[in-house]
Amino acid sequence: MGCLTGKYQVLCLLSLLFLHSPSSFSSSLSSNSQCSALLQFNNSLSLDSYVSSYDRSSSHVQLCETSYPRTASWKEDKHCCSWDGVECDKNTGHVIGLDLSCSRLKGAIDSNSTLFLLRHLRSLNLAGNYFHYSPNSSEFGQFKSLTHLNLSHSFSVDHILSEISQLSSLVSLDLSYNNYMLIETPIWNNLTLLRELHLDYTDMSSIRPKSLMNLSSSLTTLSLHSCNLQGKLENSILLLPSLQTLDLGSNPYLNGSLPKSNWSSTSLKFLDLSKIKISGEIPEFIGNLKALKYLDLSYCKLSGSIPTSLGNFTQITDLILSSNNFTGSIPTSLENLTQLTLLSLSKNKLSGVIPACLGNLTKLTSLQLVSNNFNGLLPSSLLNLPNLSTLLLGDNQLVGPLPNHLVGVVAVEIIVSAWLSIKYPVTCKVDGFDVLEHINNLCALE
Ligand SMILES: *[C@@H]1O[C@H](CO)[C@@H](O)[C@H](O)[C@H]1NC(C)=O
Ligand SMILES: *[C@@H]1O[C@H](CO)[C@@H](O)[C@H](O)[C@H]1NC(C)=O
Ligand SMILES: *[C@@H]1O[C@H](CO)[C@@H](O)[C@H](O)[C@H]1NC(C)=O
Ligand SMILES: *[C@@H]1O[C@H](CO)[C@@H](O)[C@H](O)[C@H]1NC(C)=O
Ligand SMILES: *[C@@H]1O[C@H](CO)[C@@H](O)[C@H](O)[C@H]1NC(C)=O
Ligand SMILES: *[C@@H]1O[C@H](CO)[C@@H](O)[C@H](O)[C@H]1NC(C)=O
Ligand SMILES: *[C@@H]1O[C@H](CO)[C@@H](O)[C@H](O)[C@H]1NC(C)=O
Ligand SMILES: *[C@@H]1O[C@H](CO)[C@@H](O)[C@H](O)[C@H]1NC(C)=O
């Protein structure tokens, strides 16, 4: 550590210069002072193997699938540009990228932190660590060149927001899952180059949804899941032309309706508007969103019939329309959704027979039709679906014998109340083939 402080620092830098036979004195000097800044930053933090296991606040999903201490492999006898997570510019030698995400780091980052000496940083990812001890002073505003900043699940202090709102080069900003960090002003107003904005699980209750209209029209990702947004959602957000991912789910005090025209994005792939007060019908031209892979409109207040045009979603894997007031029958056009793995229409007022053509959806793993008014027989085509593992049918008016053969099905979870006319649904796990026998053996029927 003698290398780092006081008058020895210059000597040490000079000796490193010889070791690395630099091509240019000034660039090496700056990169080495950045190495010592990194080293001191490293020494100001500790490793804690429990950090990786902190849940995303109240979502029960973990941010880091895996975590490992990148800094543990940092060695003083190697140039810092070769350290795990450190990226240097090949020409200038400046440290331009630092990725210490999911690295089990714990500690405080205050305004004296040598992290803020890395002025040339373009990309900084500290997500999935524990810096909640940080006091309310820092210098994030110094990172004038920063284009990518990821502080997801790592900070809980609000003061950094005013500093971050000055980083006008930002293209991607992720402040999600920070203990409902309070966002009181539209921090994106100055960030005109922003393409990705993730603020999930922050507290945006004092932000007017209208101020989202200032987001750049080149925005590709807007993720505001569970932000306590309140008031009327402007349709212009749904119509942003470059959007690929839009997640406004779980904002129960947000209200609005789906666009009545002009909704024809060819880029939108992920749309979650669940648990928002969206009323009215789904417009037929939703079918213009041909690139959709994921659509969740559950727990809204939608009514009317399910548009036939959903049959245009040939890329879609997840279609979730449960817990609304949809009426009418299942459109047979859904047979075109050949990539579908999850179809949930539970808890609506749908009626008619379950169309046999759903048996074309060979990738389906989960079919959920609970609590509707479906009648008639369960088509045998559904029981031949090769990947089906969850089939929920309870609380309908299905008739006929309980199917006793599930060809090729590995494990089916059936809610059998539809047939056994018991009041409360019973969930049974069976391992295929003789369902009745398994139900008799395994289900704790009252
Ligand atoms: C960086 O910190 C880690 C753990 O805190 C430590 O194992 C490692 O030796 C440090 N690296 C340097 C170069 O000091
Ligand atoms: C920063 O360092 C100075 C000088 O060492 C010290 O007086 C000050 O309290 C420090 N500030 C913080 C926020 O730690
Ligand atoms: C931020 O980092 C976390 C952890 O690595 C990652 O899951 C998340 O996708 C990153 N956010 C962005 C916008 O890249
Ligand atoms: C934050 O800083 C302000 C002054 O800028 C100070 O009055 C306040 O006590 C500080 N709060 C905390 C929690 O450190
Ligand atoms: C936006 O930039 C202007 C001019 O640089 C500045 O005065 C203002 O405070 C900034 N707004 C925010 C929210 O940072
Ligand atoms: C949009 O940004 C401009 C410039 O920063 C600001 O004057 C205006 O009030 C903002 N509009 C909304 C709705 O926040
Ligand atoms: C939406 O919310 C705003 C603000 O709370 C309210 O004034 C308005 O009446 C609501 N609109 C609908 C259709 O519920
Ligand atoms: C639809 O697009 C037309 C032409 O681009 C435009 O004039 C109209 O205002 C748009 N309507 C809505 C509701 O955005």
Domain ranges of the chain: 21-155
Q: β-strand 397-398 against 373-376: which pairing, if any? A: parallel
Give the pTM: 0.86
Residue 403 has a pLDDT of: 59
Task: Indicate the pLDDT class of residue 158, thresholds 50, 70 and 90.
Answer: confident
Whether the per-residue pLDDT at 347 is higher than 90: the answer is yes
Query: Tokens for 264?
Result: 């024809």
What element of type H or E holds 383? helix 380-383
* Binding pocket residue ranges, ligand 2, CB within 6 Å: 110-112, 135, 137
Q: Is the pLDDT of residue 440 over 70?
A: no
Res 324 pLDDT > 90:
yes
Identify the residue whose C-alpha is closest to ligand 7 atom 7.
231
Give 444: exposed, middle or buried? Use CB within 10 Å, 0-12, 13-18, 19+.
Answer: exposed
Q: Whose CA is nearest to atom 7 of ligand 3?
A: 63
C-alpha 305 – ligand 1 centre gap (Å): 61
Q: Please classify residue 120 by burial: count the beta carbons closer than 10 Å to its beta carbon, then call 0-12 exposed, 13-18 middle and 19+ buried.
A: buried
Is 441 a residue whose pLDDT tops 60? no
Atom of ligand 8 nearest to the CA of 239: 14
Give the separation between CA 37 and CA 255, rounded to whole angstroms.
48
pLDDT at 61 over 60: no
**Are the beta carbons of 148 and 167 closer than 8 angstroms?**
no
Minimal CA–CA distance to 167: which of 136, 129, 114, 121? 121
Q: What topology is assigned to 21-155 in CATH?
A: 3.80.10
What's the 61 CA to ligand 3 centre distance in angstroms? 13
Q: For the chain, how big is the Rg over CA atoms in Å?
A: 27
| pLDDT > 70 in the chain, percent | 80
C-alpha 246/C-alpha 108 separation (Å) is 33
pLDDT of residue 138: 84
Report how far residue 305's alpha carbon sits from residue 350's, in angstroms, rounded to the nearest whole number. Answer: 8
Q: 53 falls in which pLDDT band (50, 70, 90)?
A: low
Helix axes 8-19, 25-43, angle to 10 degrees: 120
Q: How far does the centroid of ligand 3 lie from the alpha carbon of residue 98, in Å?
A: 13
Q: Provide mean pLDDT across the span 138-148.
A: 94
pLDDT digits 0-9 by tens, 163-207: 999 999 999 999 999 888 999 999 999 999 999 999 999 999 999
Helices first, then strands: H and E counts in the chain? 7, 26
Mean pLDDT of 99-127: 95
Contacts 24+ apart (CB under 8 A), 210-214: 210/234, 211/186, 212/186, 212/237, 213/237, 214/186, 214/188, 214/189
**Residue 426: pLDDT over 50:** no
Give 412's pLDDT tier (boundaries 50, 70, 90): low
Interval 266-310: pLDDT, tens:
899 999 999 999 999 999 999 999 999 999 999 999 999 999 999
For all residues of the chain together, what is the average pLDDT? 84
The pLDDT of 94-105, averaged and rounded, is 96
Q: Which of 163, 147, 159 is nearest to 196 (CA)?
A: 147
Reported for 234-242, long-range contacts at CB under 8 A and 24+ positions apart, including other chains, are 234/209, 234/210, 235/259, 237/209, 237/212, 237/213, 238/263, 239/263, 239/265, 240/215, 241/217, 241/265, 241/267, 242/195, 242/217, 242/218, 242/267
Residue with tokens 């089990």: 104
Mind listing the pLDDT tens digit for each residue in 224-267?
A: 999 999 999 999 999 999 999 999 999 999 999 999 888 888 89
Residues near 19 by beta carbon (within 8 Å), at least 6 away in sequence? none
pLDDT of residue 407: 44
**Ligand 7 first shell, C-beta below 6 A:** 231-232, 255
Q: Please state the atom number of ligand 7 nearest to the C-alpha of residue 279.
A: 13
- Would you state the pLDDT for residue 264? 86
For the record, the structure tokens of 78 come out as 């190697």
Ligand nearest to the CA of 214: 6
Distance CA 332, CA 328 (A): 12
Minimal CA–CA distance to 296: which of 278, 273, 280, 264? 273
Mean pLDDT of 351-380: 92
Average pLDDT over residues 131-149: 89
- pLDDT one-digit tens code per residue, 4-42: 444 444 444 444 444 443 343 344 445 689 999 999 999
Specify the 3-state DSSP secondary structure of 19.
helix
